[in-house]
A and B are shown apart, each in its own frame.
Chain A
Amino acid sequence: MMMRMRSNKILVLVLFLVLTAYVYAKDNAKSAGNSFYSSSGASTDDIRNMFYKANAMYEYAEYNKAVSQYKKIIDKGWVSGPLFYNLGNCYFKEGKLGEAILNYERAKRFIPRDSDLESNYKYVKSLVKGNPGEEKEGFINRLFVSFTIDETAILLSVLYLMVLIIMIASLYIGLIRRYRLLLISIILFVFAAASIAMHNKVLKIKHEAIVVKENTDARFEPFERATAHFTLYEGTKVKVLSSEDNWCKIKRWDGKTGWVKKKDIEIF
């Protein structure tokens, strides 16, 4: 009995520690509120107002003003899915296919399940010359395509917590003990898949690009005088393999690689 009490004491202590940790983490998240998600502070009210202002300009077909207004928000360090979506709309209305697709792509990283975005993206893409195909995504990436990076991170955390809970519960509940192996292996499988997807998502940041110049030639070598390999049209999505001072080595959806000038594409 005495022993039991001692171990219970330890448990209580640990729980207390963890609680403190959680509170700390929460506080941390709160204090980081300014640097992470927006809270309802005065500065974000300003930003919202800037957003509404830009919307009003769009309404009056003042697209380039709206663009500069939206960009002011980004310059202040704040971003959101609808912001990039609206920016994409502005560029499209101005006839800049490349920038439009670029911003829709950016928006997709925030609001991947948005149907408006999906429909605009598809429509604008259909206007891109050269009829670019889509690079085939792997099975695992396709599974998690409609999750953002943050959502995947939280999913991973939840799965991890589930494994721990099942292991603890299996000590006390016979039914869970019997199916423990099955349950845990299923969760671990999902966990592994989500980790891979997350890894790929993170890798894509700053390694994808949209061609923003009307016609640009991809060359065999990173020089102006090098032989042109193929032509890239505005709005084509490419993978960035490596980059030197002014040149980037890119890969097209069909696997062809070449060097293009950095200013002709926009990496995101």
Chain B
Amino acid sequence: MLYVDKIREQRHFGVIRCPLSAVRYAVFAIFFLLYPLRYAVCADVQFEATVDNDTVSLGSGLQLNLSFYGAQNISAPNIGSIDGFTVRYIGPSTRMSIVNGKISVSITHIYRLLPLKTGKFKIGPFSVNYAGKTLTSNSITVNVVSSGTASPPGGGTQPQALNEKELSDRIFITMEPAKTKAYLNESIPLVIKLYVNHLTVRDIQYPKFKHEGFSVASLGKPKQYRQALGGVLYDVIEFDTHMFAVKPGKLTLGPAVIKCSLVVRKKYSHRRGSSFDDLFGGFDNGIFDDFFGNYELYPFNAVSPQIAINVLPLPESGKPADFKGAVGDFRMEAKVSPKEVNIGDPVTLTMSIEGSGNFDTVTCPELKTKSGFKVYQPHKKNSEGAKVFEQILMPVSEGIKNIPGVSFSFFNPRDGRYHTIKKGPFPITVKASRDTGAKVFEMHAPDEQPLNIDRLGKDIVYIKEDPGRFKRKGAYVYKELSYWFVQAALLLVFVSWLGAYRYNERLKNDVIYARRLAAPRKARGGIKAAQEMLKENNTVKFFDAVFGTLRGYLADRFHLPLGSITQDSLDDVLKSRGVNDDVRNKIRSILDDCDAARYAPSEFSKEKLENIFKDVRNVIDYMERKKI
């Protein structure tokens, strides 16, 4: 029995004392331990080789990146020697990113290649064995030229001369519509990308392009990432948007133009010796030249090629009667509330159209019939991937059993056909209004207004459509606690600010006050020094520290010139300030001991030194406590 209890207690303990965070840590730890394992198991690893520049001059380096996407536990592949280059392994760089809950990992092994001779060289393909599989990379062709004709020395970070041909390889834009054959009004995603390779580009503006015959949505926030293209790594800025054609025929899109500024080193930069350049190659340019302002901005327009888009008109055959031009793939939901109303009460018919396509062309679905109802202008709400219409209807007679059905037609460009969605009719119950005068309400009732004020030739202004800001009945700002809280807080700031200001002013102007205030802090430093000397058994220095501290403290405390302190004058001052005899005697004896120690330091035993030290502390404590 006892035994069982004990066990239960232990278990109980185990549960209680294991805090949640510990559990969480454990889970994380296990997750991370298993992490590489997971990726080792799922062997969907991609192997890619890239270089930072595909044209390189003799004497400057080239960076080769071997990237493995989907794994991080791959060691550096032995790539042996590459024809035309010396190879040096720099190190690995790992990357892990979580985008929308999707984890992607990669490792990049970086090598430095130095070209040995000019010509075209093929780098790769490389093969690596990983998890029993052989991964093979792409190959890259690198052009090695004699120095002077290619990128500048020193790592090639900046173009020295702006060569048009070279530039077009290093900065260019592409414009890619999702399709080049589309129907009228069909939504076409459009992607404009700016590729930049090893150039410093500033002031990048949103792309502009000719889009005659197209309606284009505004460009969203650009995405930024890196992408390898033909073995060269580019920084990519991507702009996404949607557009749709508003007239049929063969239309041309573009060219797209992105205005930007290239940061270019000035040509007349002061030359340093080439050896010096080599020594600091790679980083000195950035620091020194930036510092001396040797860069200038060079305006640049990147231009994309034009794109022809064939816009097909919507087919005439099978076009439904209620088709209003909606193009896309849509679904529709419709509901009615409330289901039970009095005559004259509004009923809301909510129709939400979801799907993909051109929502600009989506109009409110048509009611089959409007008889028996007063129909208002529908409200519409737009949101991402959906459009909601709220149609308010007012039944005008008792006999109405349902809200008429609605239909919505659209053209689906995917199958090239028209579709019609029908919903309803929706059953409702309409009751006679409670008050007998319900028939007052006729379609055109203005001349039956209860108060005939027309004869006055004046009437009141119409009601307000917007309710403004609703407020709790009887609520006022001045009744809120937070209002007074803020006022009190402001006062607190003010008072403390004033206090701090006064304090600073007094320190500046009142020397006596300032010295007195500083005295204990200074003394604390001195006492600390003395304590250390005491520990080291350094009698002479100990007395120096004690003497200096005590004398300095007393001088600051009573505003005496440091040099003029003598035993007698000090005693008089202390007496006049009402320092008691005991303390005065202590001070006197300490100062006496200090004098004596100068001539015969060896006479003082460790114990005695400790007593003196204690006395000094007591004296200072006493002064501080008594506020003399």
Spell out A's residues near B (CB within 8 Å).
Answer: 2-4, 7-8, 10-11, 14-15, 17-18, 21-22, 24-26, 28-29, 32, 35-38, 44, 47-48, 51, 53, 55-58, 60-65, 73-74, 77-83, 85-86, 89-90, 92-95, 110-111, 116, 119-120, 123-124, 149-150, 153-154, 157, 160-161, 164, 167-168, 171, 198, 202
Task: Find out whether the CB atom of B458 lies under 8 angstroms from the CB atom of A7.
Answer: no
Given A74-B473, A78-B472, A94-B450, A62:B441 Cβ within 8 A? yes
Task: Find out whether the CB atom of A60 lies under 8 angstroms from the CB atom of B471.
Answer: no
Given A61-B441, A79-B473, A56:B467 Cβ within 8 A? no
List the one stretch of B40-48, B186-194, B494-502 in contact with chain A.
B494-502
Task: Find out whether the CB atom of A4 lies under 8 angstroms from the CB atom of B504.
Answer: yes
B4 CB-CB contact with A under 8 Å: no
B480 CB-CB contact with A under 8 Å: yes
B469 CB-CB contact with A under 8 Å: yes
Task: Find out whether the CB atom of B470 lies under 8 angstroms from the CB atom of A78.
Answer: yes
Which one of A2, A28, A89 lies within 8 Å of B485 (CB-CB)? A28
Residues of B near A32 (CB, < 8 A) are: 480, 482
**Shortest CB–CB separation between residue A69 and chain B, in angstroms?**
10
Task: Find out whether the CB atom of B470 lies under 8 angstroms from the CB atom of A60.
Answer: no
Task: Find out whether the CB atom of A60 lies under 8 angstroms from the CB atom of B445.
Answer: yes
Provide a sorted-by-A list of 13 A–B residue pairs whose CB atoms are within 8 angstroms. Answer: A7-B500, A10-B496, A25-B485, A35-B475, A55-B463, A80-B469, A82-B466, A82-B467, A94-B450, A95-B450, A119-B461, A120-B460, A202-B476
B449 CB-CB contact with A under 8 Å: yes
Closest A residue to B513 using CB positions: A3
Number of interface residues of B (CB under 8 A): 62
Spell out B's residues near A (CB within 8 Å).
Answer: 344, 346, 374, 376, 392, 394, 435, 440-441, 445-446, 448-451, 458-473, 475-478, 480-483, 485-494, 496-501, 503-504, 507, 514, 517-518, 521
Which one of A62, A80, A111 lies within 8 Å of B470 (CB-CB)? A80
Closest B residue to A63 using CB positions: B450
**Shortest CB–CB separation between residue A33 and chain B, in angstroms?**
10
Residues of A near B446 (CB, < 8 A) are: 61
Given A56-B376, A160-B487, A80:B493 Cβ within 8 A? no
Given A3-B507, A11-B500, A56-B346, A36:B492 Cβ within 8 A? no
Given A32-B482, A36-B472, A79-B473, A55:B450 Cβ within 8 A? no
Given A3-B517, A60-B441, A93-B450, A21:B469 Cβ within 8 A? no
Closest A residue to B466 using CB positions: A82
Which one of B346, B445, B464 lies within 8 Å of A86 (CB-CB)? B464
Task: Find out whether the CB atom of B441 lies under 8 angstroms from the CB atom of A21.
Answer: no
Given A60-B344, A61-B440, A47:B521 Cβ within 8 A? no
A92 to B394 alpha-carbon distance, docked (Å): 24
Which one of A2, A22, A86 lies within 8 Å of B486 (CB-CB)? A22
Residues of B near A2 (CB, < 8 A) are: 518, 521
Task: Find out whether the CB atom of B468 lies under 8 angstroms from the CB atom of A82.
Answer: yes
